[in-house]
Structure 1
Amino acid sequence: MIKIEYRTQRLSLRFFLLMLVLFLFQMLFGLIIATQHVDPTLLAGIANFNILRAEHTNLGILWILSGFIGTILFIGPLLSKRELAAPWLIQILFYALIIVTVWNVATQSLAADGVAGWWAGQPWLQEGLEYLEAGRAADVVIFIGFAILAWVVLRTFPPRREWNEIHWGLAIGVTALTFVWLFGVFFIDRLDLQEYFRWYVVHYWVEGVWEVIHISLVGFLLVLMFKADVKSVGYAVFWGVALVWLSGLIGNAHHYFWIGTPAFWQFWGSLFSALEPLPLVFCFWHIYLDAHQDNKPLANAPAFYFILGSVVLEQVGAGILGFTMTFALTNVWSHGTWVTPSHAHLAMFGTFGMLGIASAYYAVPLLRGVKSFDQRLGRVAFWLVLTGMLGIAFAFAIGGTIQVFLYRSMGLNWFGGEVFPAMQFYKVLIPIFGLVFAVGTGLLVYDLLTLGLRQPSAVVPEPRLHAAPRAGWGSALKGSEASLWLMGMWIFGAIITMGLLSFNLDAVSKGDPTIPYVLAGIGYPGLLLITLLFVWRFLASLQARPQPAAAPEASPAMAQVAS
C-alpha cells in the first residue's frame, strides 16, 4: 500500500476537493454567460450577464488559489523533511476560504441594487472595483488567510542556510501573495491612482506573484515525477523567478496606457511587457529537459499531461498572445474587446488552473492510498479541456478581430451592441466549444473526486516493460525539434501582432478589412493548431517509452528529494 510519510500532508486533500467543486461551478457559470452572448434575454432580470461574469471570474481565482494551497501543503513537508507547522491554522484557512467563497457569491448582486462602492457607503459589502468586487470584509479575511499560509510555510521550512532555490521561490511567492494583496484593500478617490494600484493586484499579484509560485511548484513536481536533479531544477527556478520580477514590475505598465497616467508609460510598458515571455520560454524549455532526463517512464500520465498543458498554454496564452497585445499600438485596439479574453482564458486556466489539476492527479492517489488507477479517464479529460479551451480562444480571437475592425471603420468610441450581429457566428462557437470543455471538466472532477472510492476498472492497460524504438510521430522528441515547434508558435504570434498593428493603417479606418482579416485568419488558427499538434507530439513521444505497472509511490521520490 502506498503510504504518505508525513501525516499533515493529508490536510491538502480537502483543498484539492474544494478546488474541484469550485471549478465545476465556475465552468457552469461560464456556460451560462456564453449562452447569454447568443441570447441576451436568457435569465434577464434573474441572473444578469454582468453579475454572472463577475461570479465566473472570481470563482476562477478562488479555485485556482485552493489548488495552489493544496499543492503547497502537500509538498511543504517533502521540502522540509518534517510535518507542517500549526495544522490547526490550516484548518482555519480552509474554512476561511469557504467563507470568502460564499460571501463573494452572495454579495455580487448587491452592485445591481446600488449597494456597492465607496460612494454608496458600502465598501465592506461590495467594493465595486472590476475583478476586485469582493467587499472590504472579504479582503481582510483573504489577507488573514494568506498570512496564515505564509506563516505555516515559513515555519515549516528548515533554517534559511538549508534552503535551495525552490524554498526561496515558494517563500518569496507566499510572502508576496500576502503583501501585494494590500494594494487592493485601500481606497483612493482619484480614479487614475486607484486604477494604478488596482492593477498591482489584477496584474502583478496574479501574473507576477502567482507566476513565481507556479514556476516553483512545476519545478518540484518534476523532481517528484521524474526524479529530476534538484539542483538543476533549482537553477531553472532561480532564473525563472528573477526574470518574472525583473520584467514584470515595470511591465505592469501596459495596463497604464489608457487610465490617465503619463504618456512615458506607453514606451516603458511596451518595452518591459515584451520581455515578460522570457521566463515562460525558460520554464517551457526546462520541462522538456526534465521530462527527457534518462528517458524515464511516464508513470502518472494525467498528472504530467496537465503539467505539460500548463506550461504550453502559459507559453501560448500568457506569453505569445500577451505579447501580441502588450504594445501601446496594438493594445489600443485589443483593449476591452473580445481579443483580450482569448489571451486571458488560455493564460489563466492554462497556466494556473491546469497546474492545480496536475497536482491533484499526483497527490490524490497518494493521499487515498491508491496503488494504481486506470488513467484513461484523466487522459481523455485532458484532451477535451485542452481542445475546448483552444476552441474558445479561437472564437474569442476571430470574433474580436471582427469587432475591432467594425469599431475602427465605423469610428465608434463606445463598445455597444451595434456590432454584435457581425460576431454572431463566433458567439455561437463559444458555447459549442464550451460544451466540449464542460464534458472534460465533468470527467476529471468525477475521476478525482471518486478516485480510490469507486471500484477500480476491470480493464487496465498492460504495462510496456520493453518497447522497441519507434519512428515517426511516436519517436523520441529531440531538442532541435522542440525548438522548431516553439519557433513556429512564435512565428504565428508575430503574424497576429502584425494584424493588430495593421488596424493603425488609414486603409483599415476607411473600411478595408483585408490586411487584419488575412493576418488574423492565418495567425490565430495557425497558433492554436500548432499548439494542439505539439502537445500531441510531445505526449506521443513519452507514451512510447516503457511504462511501469503502477503509479509512482511516494517514498522513492521523497527519498530522492531528501538526498
Structure 2
Amino acid sequence: MIVLIAAIAVFLFIYLTQEDPEEVQVVTERPSIRLATPSQKVTTLFFGVAMALFLVQILMGMVTAHYAVEGDGFYGVPLQQYLPYAASRTWHLQLAVFWIATCWLAAGLYFAPRFGKNEPPGQSWGNGALLGALTVVVVGSLIGAWAGVQGFLGDKSFWFGHQGYEYVELGRLWQLLLIGGMVFWLWLMYRALKPALKAEGSKTGLNHFFLYSAITIPLFYASGLMYTNHTPLSIAEYWRWWVVHLWVEGFFEVFATVTIAYLCSELGFLKRSSALRATYLTTILYLGSGVIGTLHHLYFSGTPVFITAMGAVASALEVVPLTLIGFEVVKSIRLSQEAQGFYRVPLKFLIGTCFWNLVGAGVFGFLINPPIVLYYSQGINTTPIHAHSALFGVYGSLALALMLFALREITPDHAGNEKLFNLSFWGINIGLVMMMVFGLIPSGFYQLVQSVNHGTWYARSAEVINSSWMHWTVWLRIPGDIVFSLGALLMVLCVLRSIIAIFQQPTQPQPDAPLTADYPM
C-alpha cells in the first residue's frame, strides 16, 4: 500500500509537471475529405471483414451464455450435438481477438501511407494478399478448433485444431501462419513509412516510434510458440500470458497510443512535441508496471513465492497509469470540442476507451488481482466481469476508434451519418453496462461468496451453477445483450455504407496529393 501511494504521487507529479497547458490547439478550419489511395481503399475491406467477425462473435456469445440455462440446446434446438459449448466458447473468444486485431492491423496499413506520405508500388496488391491470407487463417482456425473439440483430429489437434489454452486456442499451424501474416504486415508498413523515416533523421521521433511499436506486435505474439503440447503446464502458462497480457494489454495499446497521438499532431490538434512526449510517458507508465504485472497471472501455477510478491506489487502499480485516465478523458473531450464536428464520433469511442480502461481494467481488474482475492475468485464468473469490460470495453472500443478515425477521413459526408454512429456508440456502451450490472456482476459475486464460504470446488459445482440465482442472472442479461447487439448491428451497417461510398469515389495515386473539396450532405 505504501509503494502504491508513493508511486501514484510520483507519477502524478511527473505527469502534471510535463503537461503543456497549450498542447491542445484550436483548429479553426474543418478538415477536408480525402480521396483514398489504392491501398487505403483495399484497407477498408479489412474493416468490413472485422465487422462481420464482430457480428459472429456476438452470436457465439449468445449461444455460449444460453448453454448456462439449457445445457443441451438453444431454445429447444439440439445445437449441442453440432456446436458443443467448448466450441462456441472458443469461437467467441477467438473471434474477439481476430476482429479487434484486424481493426488494429488495418489502421496501421491505412495510416502508414498517410504518415509516410508515400504509396509504394503494388501496395494495394500486398494489402489484398494479406487480407486473403488472414481470411484463410481465421476460417481455417475456427473450423480446426471445432473439429478438435469434436475429436475428429485425434493427436493432430494441437497442430491443426485446438491447442487447449484459452485465448491461444488456434492450432499451431494457424498460429505460425498468423505470425507470418503479421511479419508481412510489418513489411508493408515499413515500405510506406520508409521516406518519412529517412526524412525524420532522429531515431526517437514519432515516425520511428510508430515503426518500433509495430515491430513489437508480431514479435510478442510469437512468444506463444515457446511451448508445445508436451510442455509442463506452469511453463506453458507463463508463455501464454506473454501473449494475452503483454501482446494485447501492453504492446497493442502502445501501438494504438502512438497512432492516435501521431494523427492528432498531423491534424493540428496536438503539438508534435507534446504528442511525442505523451507517447513516451504513456509507454513508460503502461510497460513499466505491465511487464512485471504479468506475473499476477502466475500466482498459483507452480511459481516461487517471490513471483507472487512481485506480481502483487506490480499488479497494484498497474492502477497508477489508470489514475491518469481522468486527465486523458478531459484532454479527449477538449480535442473533441476542437474537432469541428469532423472527428467527434471516433473521439467518443476514444473517451469510451478511457472510461472502460478505468472501470474494466482498473476497478474490476484490481478487484481480482490481489493474491488473497484471486485465491478464491480463480476460475469463476468474476473473471468474465473483467474480461468483458476490459477486452471489449477497452480494446474493442479502441479498435472501433481507430477504424472510425481512418474511415472518417475518406468517407464523403453524404454517406457518413453522425446521428447513427452516435446511436451505435450509446447502444454498445449502455448495452455493455446493462450486461454487467444485471448479469455478470450478480453471478460473479454470488459465486465469489460461495467460494469464500465453502471453497472453489463448491462455487464451481453443479449445485451452484444450476441454481435458480445463476439461471436468473443469465435471463436478466438478455435486455443488455439486445441493446448491445442493436448498437453493434447499427455500427456494421454504417461501416458498410461508408466502405461502399469510398469505393465509389475517385482514387488518388499518392496520399500527399491535393485534398478534395468537401462533399455536400
RMSD: 2.7
- 1:3 and 1:554 in contact (8 A); partners too: no
- Tell me if 1:301 matches 2:339: no
Q: Kindly state the Cα deviation for residue 336 of structure 1 after the two structures are TM-superposed.
A: 1.3
More deviation, 101-110/379-388: 101-110
Q: Kindly state the Cα deviation for residue 389 of structure 1 after the two structures are TM-superposed.
A: 0.9
More deviation, 153-162/391-400: 153-162
Shift in CA distance, 226/113, structure 1 to aligned 2, threshold 3 Å: same
Shift in CA distance, 82/283, structure 1 to aligned 2, threshold 3 Å: farther
Q: Take 1:556 and 1:280, find their aligned partners in 2: how far apart are those partners?
A: 41
Shift in CA distance, 166/278, structure 1 to aligned 2, threshold 3 Å: farther
- Out of 458, 461, 467, which is 1:416 matched to? 461
Q: Take 2:399 and 2:492, find their aligned partners in 1: how far apart are those partners?
A: 12
Between the aligned residues of both structures, percent identity stands at 25
Q: Take 2:384 and 2:362, find their aligned partners in 1: how far apart are those partners?
A: 14
Q: Paired residue for 1:229?
A: 271
- Tell me if 1:28 matches 2:75: no
Cα deviations across residues 504-538 of structure 1 (Å, max 9, x unaligned)?
xxxxxxxxxxxxxxxxxxxxxxxxxxxxxxxxxxx
Q: Which has the higher contact order (CA 8 A, sep 6+)?
A: 2
Q: Take 2:121 and 2:250, find their aligned partners in 1: how far apart are those partners?
A: 27
Shift in CA distance, 38/225, structure 1 to aligned 2, threshold 3 Å: farther
Q: Paired residue for 1:463?
A: none
Q: The residue matched to 1:434 in structure 2 has which SS?
A: helix
- Tell me if 1:256 matches 2:311: no
- Tell me if 1:210 matches 2:255: no
Equivalences, count: 458
Equivalence map 1:32-181=2 (5 Å): 32-42=63-73, 43-84=79-120, 87=123, 88-115=125-152, 120-126=155-161, 127-157=163-193, 158-159=197-198, 161-162=201-202, 165-181=205-221
- 1:307 and 1:358 in contact (8 A); partners too: yes
Q: Take 2:492 and 2:323, find their aligned partners in 1: how far apart are those partners?
A: 30
- 1:149 and 1:174 in contact (8 A); partners too: no
Cα deviations across residues 186-219 of structure 1 (Å, max 9, x unaligned)?
4152221111111111211111122211222332
Q: The residue matched to 1:17 in structure 2 has which SS?
A: helix
Q: Kindly state the Cα deviation for residue 279 of structure 1 after the two structures are TM-superposed.
A: 3.3
Equivalence map 1:500-515=2 (5 Å): none
Q: Kindly state the Cα deviation for residue 372 of structure 1 after the two structures are TM-superposed.
A: 6.7
- 2:145 and 2:171 in contact (8 A); partners too: no
Q: The residue matched to 1:451 in structure 2 has which SS?
A: helix
Q: Paired residue for 1:445?
A: 492
- Out of 420, 425, 428, which is 1:377 matched to? 420
Q: The residue matched to 2:164 in structure 1 has which SS?
A: strand
In structure 1, the gaps of 5 or more residues are 455-552, 559-563
Q: Kindly state the Cα deviation for residue 343 of structure 1 after the two structures are TM-superposed.
A: 0.9
Q: Kindly state the Cα deviation for residue 7 of structure 1 after the two structures are TM-superposed.
A: 4.1
Q: Take 1:138 and 1:248, find their aligned partners in 2: how far apart are those partners?
A: 28
Shift in CA distance, 221/337, structure 1 to aligned 2, threshold 3 Å: farther
Q: The residue matched to 1:292 in structure 2 has which SS?
A: helix
Q: The residue matched to 1:129 in structure 2 has which SS?
A: coil
Q: Kindly state the Cα deviation for residue 92 of structure 1 after the two structures are TM-superposed.
A: 2.0
- Out of 327, 334, 345, which is 2:377 matched to? 334
Q: Kindly state the Cα deviation for residue 333 of structure 1 after the two structures are TM-superposed.
A: 2.1
Q: Take 1:325 and 1:165, find their aligned partners in 2: how far apart are those partners?
A: 38
Q: The residue matched to 1:227 in structure 2 has which SS?
A: coil
Q: Paired residue for 1:427?
A: 474
Q: The residue matched to 2:457 in structure 1 has which SS?
A: coil
Q: Take 2:51 and 2:331, find their aligned partners in 1: how far apart are those partners?
A: 30
TM-score by length of 1: 0.75
Q: Take 2:299 and 2:378, find their aligned partners in 1: how far apart are those partners?
A: 10
Shift in CA distance, 294/60, structure 1 to aligned 2, threshold 3 Å: closer
- 2:345 and 2:404 in contact (8 A); partners too: yes
- Out of 264, 278, 281, which is 2:320 matched to? 278
TM-score by length of 2: 0.81
Q: Kindly state the Cα deviation for residue 442 of structure 1 after the two structures are TM-superposed.
A: 0.7
- 1:337 and 1:400 in contact (8 A); partners too: yes
Shift in CA distance, 351/85, structure 1 to aligned 2, threshold 3 Å: farther
Q: Paired residue for 2:393?
A: 350
Q: Kindly state the Cα deviation for residue 140 of structure 1 after the two structures are TM-superposed.
A: 1.1
Shift in CA distance, 214/275, structure 1 to aligned 2, threshold 3 Å: farther
Cα deviations across residues 258-280 of structure 1 (Å, max 9, x unaligned)?
11111211110011111223334
Cα deviations across residues 241-260 of structure 1 (Å, max 9, x unaligned)?
12222211111000101111
More deviation, 264-273/316-325: 316-325
- 1:283 and 1:311 in contact (8 A); partners too: yes
Q: Take 1:125 and 1:133, find their aligned partners in 2: how far apart are those partners?
A: 10
Q: Take 1:178 and 1:416, find their aligned partners in 2: how far apart are those partners?
A: 40
Q: Kindly state the Cα deviation for residue 293 of structure 1 after the two structures are TM-superposed.
A: 5.7
Q: Take 2:499 and 2:148, find their aligned partners in 1: how far apart are those partners?
A: 43
